Amino acid sequence: MIALTLAEIASAVDGTLHLEGTDATTDTVVDGAVTTDSREVGAGDVFFAKRGEFDDGHRFAPAAVEQGAALLVVEHALELPVPQVIVADSVDALGALATEVVRRVRARGRLRIVGVTGSNGKTTTKNLLREILTAQGDTVASRKSFNNEVGGPITALELTDDTEFLVAEMGASAVGEIARLVRMAHPDIGIVLKVGLAHAGEFGGIEQTVRAKSEMVTELTADEVAVLNADDPRVASMSGVTAARVVWFGLGERADVRATELVVHARGTEFTITAPGGASARVRFGVLGEHHVMNALAATAAALELGVPLPAIVEALESVRLAERWRMEVMGGRDDVTVINDAYNASPDSMAAALKTLAQVQEPGTRTIAVLGEMSELGEFSGEEHDRIGLLAVRLGISQLVVVGAGARRLHITAVNEGSWDGESAYVEGADEAFDLVTSIARPGDTVLVKSSNAAGLRLLGDRLGEWFA
């Protein structure tokens, strides 16, 4: 975090400074990292005691002090020998401090902010942009999937006086949440990747999802840029609710930044990228899956708007071999068995994309095995979307389905009804059974995909299979 006095921090968060029992003054400067996790606290850091659904961060404040916290932001005073700022709501205070830090860094004239949202692909696109922009200047980007009302501010608070680029992943499970993050770190460039049924159950339907994602661009001005997916009608419609200049990305002719001549194989994806003005280049993209090409196009469009030359963008894209841990992560190799662990999360769109990739990378004479778990947070759409994936798996000719857990059982039933009558689809209750089944049936040359929502926990099964076939 940039250096601020205790008085400045208290003012930014509309809190009351509590210094009793300490040697600090209102002019004491704090410039450490900010966290809500006491286990991450180091000397000089700021600890926000956040109340959670199942626990209360105030319980861990003593541990934060023992580890060297220089300041606590709390909702009531604690008997601890460290400066404290007392606020009404620690999460609101976290956002307020981030807003002030962004304002101060931006006022120095160097900072450019890119916001990234969408039902799928946020983390991959953010990581690609980080790789591209780090070579151009000091860059801060969200860690992991830090994209909510806590993770967003913590990312923004990593800014320093030297930061030139902030890449902010902005997620939501309700209308208004992206708008809150946009107000905290207003983007110069806002990217909307895709609108699908991910979290549709929480949003209350697809139209509410569209409304929530459009918050990325509705407050952009005519001097700013909206990077929109030309191939997604719901995203494309957002051009009508923004004053920003629109830059399109996609596979179709409408796109300003476009990919053609796609070739998908087990080592990644190759494509030709065309930029505005006609410049083009062949990209050998090490991230597996045609769907990740769209993320690469979005990152490219934003980077071009920030003045990065196309050759430098291509070099950065080609240096990336993994989008993120547990996202189309290629493992295995023994007996030529490939394991693709894509079980960090799953929506109907990403599940379909992963299955299509599995079918595309299949070599003649080999088999494909899809180990699939539940797609969570779909609400009323859950049944029909699991049906759709079961049908797709059969129609793509996936050699063997292994469906894991009661939440995904309907997918198995649909696959059986569609045509998997001779054991091509198997249902098991848990990950241990799935491991035993896959290791018993896998043959040399097979490709195994593991895909589910995070809550289903199959990413650990993917790791286990990857290690078994290493």
Looking at the fold, whether 397 and 445 belong to one and the same domain comes out as yes
- Asked whether residue 162 falls in the same domain as residue 310, the answer is yes
86 forms beta bridges with: 16, 74
Which residues are within 8 A (CB) of 359 and not within 5 positions of it... i.e. 6 or more apart? 368, 396, 397, 398
Domain CATH number, residue 136: 3.40.1190.10
> Is the confidence at residue 42, as pLDDT, over 80?
yes
Q: Is residue 97 part of a domain?
A: no
Average pLDDT value for residue range 394-420: 93
Q: What confidence score (pLDDT) does residue 197 get? A: 65
Give the model's pLDDT for residue 201: 54
What confidence category does residue 420 fall into, taking pLDDT thresholds of 50, 70 and 90? low
Under 8 Å CB-to-CB from 53, ≥6 apart: which residues? none
Residue 72 is part of a domain; what is its CATH number? Answer: 3.40.1390.10
439 is in an annotated binding site: no
**Predicted pLDDT of residue 282:** 97
Find the mean pLDDT for residues 248-264: 95
Residue 378, pLDDT score: 86
pLDDT above 90 for 52: no
Last residue of a domain, one of 29, 60, 92: 92
- 455: domain CATH number? 3.90.190.20
Last residue of a domain, one of 319, 344, 368: 319
Is 382 part of any known ligand binding site?
no
Is pLDDT above 70 for 421? no
Task: Provide the sign of the torsion angle of the four alpha carbons 255, 259, 261, 263, taken in this order.
Answer: negative
Q: What's the pLDDT band for 193 if we cut at 50, 70, 90?
A: very high
pLDDT at 162 over 80: yes
Residue 203, pLDDT > 70, answer no
Q: Does the annotation place 121 within a ligand binding site? A: yes
In the block, which residue shows the tokens 């080592």?
A: 267
Q: Is the same domain home to 84 and 166?
A: no
**Any known ligand binding at 122?**
yes
Confidence of residue 153 (pLDDT cuts 50, 70, 90): very high
Give the CB-side neighbour count of residue 241, counting CA atoms within 13 A: 18
Residue 123 is labelled as binding a ligand:
yes
Is there a domain that residue 450 lies in?
yes
Is the pLDDT reported for residue 174 higher than 90?
A: no
pLDDT digits (tens, 9 = 90+) for 390-402: 999 999 999 999 9
Instruction: Clarify whether residues 255 and 378 are in a common domain.
Output: no
State yes or no: 383 annotated in a binding site: no
Tell me which residue range forms the domain holding 358: 329-468
What is the pLDDT at residue 422? 78
Judge whether 186 lies within some domain.
Answer: yes
Give mean pLDDT, residues 231-254.
96
User: Has residue 34 got a pLDDT over 80?
Assistant: yes
**Lowest mean per-residue pLDDT among 75-89, 335-349, 429-443:** 335-349
Q: Are 167 and 289 in a shared domain? A: yes
Confidence of residue 205 (pLDDT cuts 50, 70, 90): confident
* Together in a domain, 272 and 343: no
> Are residues 433 and 374 part of one domain?
yes
Q: Are residues 147 and 50 both part of a single domain?
A: no
Number of domains observed in the structure of the chain: 3
Q: For residue 282, tell me if it sits in a domain.
A: yes
Predicted local confidence at residue 291, as pLDDT: 87
Q: Are residues 315 and 336 in the same domain?
A: no
pLDDT at position 54 over 70: yes
Asked if 126 and 224 sit in the same domain, the reply is yes
Q: Is 365 annotated as a binding residue?
A: no
Task: Look at 220-229, 319-328, 443-452 and tell me which has the smallest mean pLDDT.
Answer: 319-328
377: pLDDT confidence band, cut at 50, 70 and 90? confident
**Which has more pLDDT, 140 or 345?**
140
Among the listed residues 393, 464, 380, 387, the one whose alpha carbon sits nearest the alpha carbon of residue 430: 464
**pTM: predicted TM-score of the whole model, two decimal places:** 0.88
Question: Is residue 99 situated within a structural domain?
Answer: no
Residue at a domain's end among 319, 347, 381: 319
User: Quick check: 200 pLDDT over 60?
Assistant: no
Q: Is residue 208 in a domain?
A: yes
With a cut of 90, say whether residue 327 has pLDDT above it: no
Q: What is the mean pLDDT of residues 367-376?
A: 96
pLDDT at 149 over 60: yes
Instruction: Kindly state whether residues 70 and 126 are assigned to the same domain.
Output: no
**Interval 96-127: pLDDT, tens:** 999 999 999 999 989 999 999 998 889 899 99
Whether residue 100 lies inside any domain: the answer is no
Residue 159 has pLDDT above 90, yes or no: yes
| Burial grade of 173 (CB within 10 A; 0-12, 13-18, 19 or more) | middle
Q: What confidence tier does 285 reach under pLDDT thresholds 50, 70, 90? A: very high
Q: What is the pLDDT of residue 358?
A: 95
The rounded distance, in Å, linking the Cα atoms of 456 and 346 is: 10
pLDDT of residue 36: 95
Percent pLDDT > 90 in the chain is 80
- Same domain for 304 and 162, yes or no, is yes
> What is the average pLDDT score of the chain?
93
Determine the distance from the C-alpha atom of residue 110 to the mean position of all C-alpha atoms in its chain, rounded to a whole number: 26
Residue at 103 is within a domain: no
Task: Flag whether pLDDT at 142 surpasses 90.
Answer: no
